[in-house]
Chains A and B, each alone.
Chain A
């Protein structure tokens, strides 16, 4: 049982991180806390994808060093796949990080507008104000 947990401990860590983010999104009433929860959630997913690309046994970052141009010139270089980690999750998560930054920026701008109108960021107070004024 312990060996089973240790062999996949990275996934357990991401599950816990994702649940923290999900709880902040669902359980908290402050809108900024909800936004931070969304960011933690995104970080958990990004870490999960990056960890998929890991290879044990001497694999390094997917960058060719040294005689890279010589190998390109001949075109028949033998590249050992097992010595480079999987580059595709890294590429996809690069895109995901950029999109998450854009999402966070727009969400913070919307929060500033909400605060200007209602003078609070607590969700229950905003709902109460909207009910009272009938807007």
Chain B
């Protein structure tokens, strides 16, 4: 059991460290993640949404439906916890 786990760890670690070679340097301003879509958001967010905080502008305006789905996830998780942990009434029996 332990041997299999350590084998999986070594295999995954080798793959990940092999992939690190292709990543951009730490804090590189011209990295791919910072040079395609992100300049457009930084330039246009204030003008289009009138929100000084770009993170808030993207979360609430550009990705508003995603945030709504996120609240649905939280609501479902809360309902699930309540249904699992509530005290059973007398008539309902022990079956889950």
A binding-site residues for B, Cβ under 8 Å: 7-12, 15, 18-19, 22-23, 26-27, 51-57, 59, 62-65, 68, 71-72, 75, 77, 79, 81-82, 84, 86-91, 94-95, 98-99, 102-103, 105-106, 109-110, 112-113
* Contact yes or no, B13 A113, CB < 8 A: no
Knowing that A8-B23, A64-B54, A71-B46 are A-B contacts, what are 7 other residue pairs whose CB atoms are under 8 Å apart, sorted by A's residue number? A22-B9, A27-B1, A64-B52, A65-B52, A94-B59, A98-B70, A106-B77
Q: How far is the CB of B17 from chain A (nearest CB, A)?
A: 6
Question: Number of B residues whose C-beta is below 8 Å from A?
Answer: 51
For A20, the closest partner residue in chain B by CB is B9
- Interface on chain A toward B: helix, strand, loop, or mixed SS? helix
For residue B67, which residues in chain A have a CB less than 8 angstroms away from its CB? 95
Residue of A nearest to B16 (CB): A15
Say whether, besides A72-B50, A79-B46, A102-B77, A22 and B12 are in contact (CB < 8 Å): yes
Q: Evaluate contact between A7 and B73: CB separation under 8 angstroms.
A: no
A106 and B80 contact, CB distance less than 8 A: yes
Residues of B with C-beta under 8 A to A82:
29
Question: Are A27 and B5 in contact (CB-based, < 8 A)?
Answer: yes
B contacts, CB < 8 Å to A:
1-2, 4-6, 8-9, 12-13, 16-17, 20, 23, 25-29, 31, 33-34, 37-39, 41-43, 45-47, 50, 52-55, 58-59, 63, 66-67, 70, 73-74, 76-78, 80-81, 84-85, 96
B49 to chain A, nearest CB (A): 9
If the complex has contacts A8-B20, A87-B58, are A72 and B33 also in contact, measured as CB distance less than 8 A?
A: no
A86 CA / B67 CA spacing, docked (Å): 19
CB-CB < 8 A to B70: which residues of A? Answer: 95, 98-99
